[in-house]
Amino acid sequence: MTRKGKPPVIQLTTSLPPSINTQYATVDGRRVLSEGARKWKKEVGRQVELLEDKAVLTERMKEALRHCYISVFLEFFFTSPHRRDLDGGLKITLDAICEALGLNDNRVVDLHLVKKIDPLYPRLEIMLEGIAEWQFDTEYIYLPDTND
C-alpha cells in the first residue's frame, strides 16, 4: 500500500504494440520476439522510467504492487475498426508492463480490454491498479503452493 493505505494506480500511454502476426520471428528453428516487439517492450520500459523520473511512480508504489493483486485496463485506439483483433496486443502488453515494473503477471486478476478508433493518433492507454482486497471463489479451498 502507499502512504495513505490506498493501492497504487499507474497510467501511461504508448504506441500500439505490434500485431500478433508480427510479434514473433523464427530464428534457427526457434520462435523469438521480433525486433519490432523487442523495441516496443523497450518503449514501455522507457515510459515507466519517465514516470519514475517525474516521481509519479515511486519505489514504494512498485513495492506495494508486488504485494497486491492487480487490475489492468487497456484501451486500444486503432486506426480502423476491423483491421486488428482486440486481444492481439494483450500478452505482449502484460509482459512489457509487468516486466518494466518488476511484477509477476500472474498477479493480474482483473482485466478490461476496450477497442476504440482514432485514425489520427493510434495508441494504447494503460491503467494498472493494485487491488487491496481480492477474494478467490469461496467454494474452493486454496492450498497455497510453497512457491507463492
Per-residue pLDDT at 3 exceeds 60: no
Total structural domains within the chain: 1
In a domain, 37, yes or no: yes
pLDDT value at residue 137:
75
Residue with the larger pLDDT of the pair 21 and 146: 21
In a domain, 147, yes or no: no
Max Cα-Cα span within the chain:
52
In a domain, 141, yes or no: no
Strands 69-78 and 108-117: parallel
In a 13 Å sphere around the CA of 45, the CA atoms on its Cβ side amount to 11
Q: pLDDT tens digit string along 34-56?
A: 889 899 999 999 999 999 999 99
In a domain, 43, yes or no: yes
* Closest to 13 in 3D by CA, of 132, 118, 102, 87: 118
Question: CA dist 128 to 65, 84, 147, Å?
Answer: 9, 23, 25
pLDDT grade for 114, boundaries at 50, 70 and 90: very high
pLDDT value at residue 41:
94
- Neighbour-count burial of 147, counting CB atoms closer than 10 A to its CB (0-12 exposed, 13-18 middle, 19+ buried): exposed
In a domain, 143, yes or no: no
What's the mean pLDDT in 129-142? 80
Domain that holds residue 82: 9-131
Per-residue pLDDT at 2 exceeds 60: no
Question: CA dist 89 to 30, 51, 120, 141, Å?
Answer: 21, 22, 19, 34
In a domain, 81, yes or no: yes
Q: pLDDT tens digit string along 96-111?
A: 999 999 999 999 999 9
User: For position 16, which CATH number holds?
Assistant: 3.30.1330.70
| CA 47 to chain centroid | 12
Per-residue pLDDT at 123 exceeds 80: yes
